[in-house]
Amino acid sequence: MAIIRPFRGLRPTPELAEKVAARPYDVLSAAEAKAEAAGNQYSFYHVSKSEIDLPEGTDVYSQSVYDKAAENLQKFIKEGTLFQDNTPCYYIYRLIMNGRTQTGLVCASSVSDYNMGIIKKHEFTRPDKEQDRINNIKTTRAQTGNVFLAYNDVPEVNSLIDHWIHANAPAYDFTAADGIQHTVWVVNEEGAVNDITSLFSSKVPHTYIADGHHRAASASLVQKEFEEKQMIGTDDPANFFLTTIFPASQLVILDYNRLVKDLNGLTKEALLSRLEYDFTVESIGHLPQQPSMLHEFSMYLEGTWYRLVAKEGTYTTDPIGILDVTILSNNVLDKILGIKDQRTDKRIDFVGGIRGLQELVKRVDSGEMKVAFALYPVTIQQLFDIADSGNVMPPKSTWFEPKLRDGLISQMI
């Protein structure tokens, strides 16, 4: 069963919450973060993307970036921008996007649960991304990146959370510039805290990582290092990591699309010819079109969109083989374009569906990338099925929206 516990959250004073809140560190570039933080001394980008405060061209993985993050975090604490709750609490975090609501529980989840598979994964991680988070956590001594977990609905948990929301005023409630409403309640009453802990330990056999595989893996590796060096005890915060757990019924997965820098030595005509072995290929013009069903893909190449429909025999019916990300990986990225490991190959990049197909057009038309592929999104049940089977999806298979904001709740370790 899932082991969770309350913790003393590090969070902004109510009047500064909206200014502090920042998009997750891994969904935007340093240039985008610098533009968003312009004129806002309270923005959490000064911690999560601290390269914005260093000379342009600074290596984002250099120790100076992690040192600056730690310096800025301590400055926020010293100046009172952030404060730490006096007692361990749970936090309820509700997001509303385009009229759709999802409400999660912010808690500290057990590293041991992650190591033993009670917290289930569906992706491998990239070593360079893991090391980045390890360096950040060790230098700042804080977990500032929230891991987004999901669980099969438990009516008693949903009821308890709903009751708290209706009976108590929120600590924060604001609508960000992108139109997403963020509301946070602090659960600090001992009876309610104990009830939540008990419900998860008795009613929730597993949780699933929806978003944040690298953050979870890094927390585990930091805990292991601290334990080996005898730096922590049994009850130390580093034995847990920052998570927000959402009921599956409230979640929606968006597409997660691919960009490739070159055609692996092929001409456009040769690529189209090779694709016809495994797909029906149809030119659909200059306007972007989302795939409308499973096993259908949209490809953008040299100013033209193409519809690709996978032929029978290009996929299997097992939980992994039937996924569109698997079909694309096996029959295009690997077989034709020579991309064997999407976690490490620098020729491929990934774009979440929230950015829209125009982001694919922009990056191809600029010459930065040569070809783009848009995919039909996987379902939350497919994610659960794969995690339950012990398999993993190809990297960057799921994109969840809306996303939690960094800076609203962090855990010190």
**Nearest partner of 46 among 410, 320, 409, 407, judged by Cα:** 407
**Nearest partner of 133 among 406, 409, 386, 352, judged by Cα:** 406
The list of the chain residues with pLDDT below 70 reads none
Q: Which spans in 80-142 are helix H?
A: 111-116, 127-140
> What's the confidence (pLDDT) of residue 396?
79
Using CA atoms, how far residue 347 sits from 225, 266, 343, in Å, is 33, 15, 11
Please check whether residue 342 is in contact with residue 242, taking contact to mean a CB–CB distance below 8 angstroms: no
CA distance linking residue 330 with residue 324, whole number of Å: 10
> What's the confidence (pLDDT) of residue 162?
95
CA distance linking residue 4 with residue 198, whole number of Å: 9
Which structural domains are found in the chain, ordered by start?
Answer: 4-253+402-412 (no CATH), 256-376 (3.30.1760)
CA distance linking residue 208 with residue 150, whole number of Å: 5
> What's the confidence (pLDDT) of residue 123?
81
CA distance linking residue 106 with residue 183, whole number of Å: 12
Residue whose entry in the numeric block shows the structure tokens 């012990």: 390
Please check whether residue 288 is in contact with residue 305, taking contact to mean a CB–CB distance below 8 angstroms: yes
> What's the confidence (pLDDT) of residue 322?
87
- Supply the pTM of this predicted model: 0.83
Starting at the edge strand found earlier in the chain, the sheet holding 371-374 runs 279-285, 304-310, 296-301, 371-374, 256-260, 348-352
CA distance linking residue 83 with residue 80, whole number of Å: 6
CA distance linking residue 36 with residue 43, whole number of Å: 9
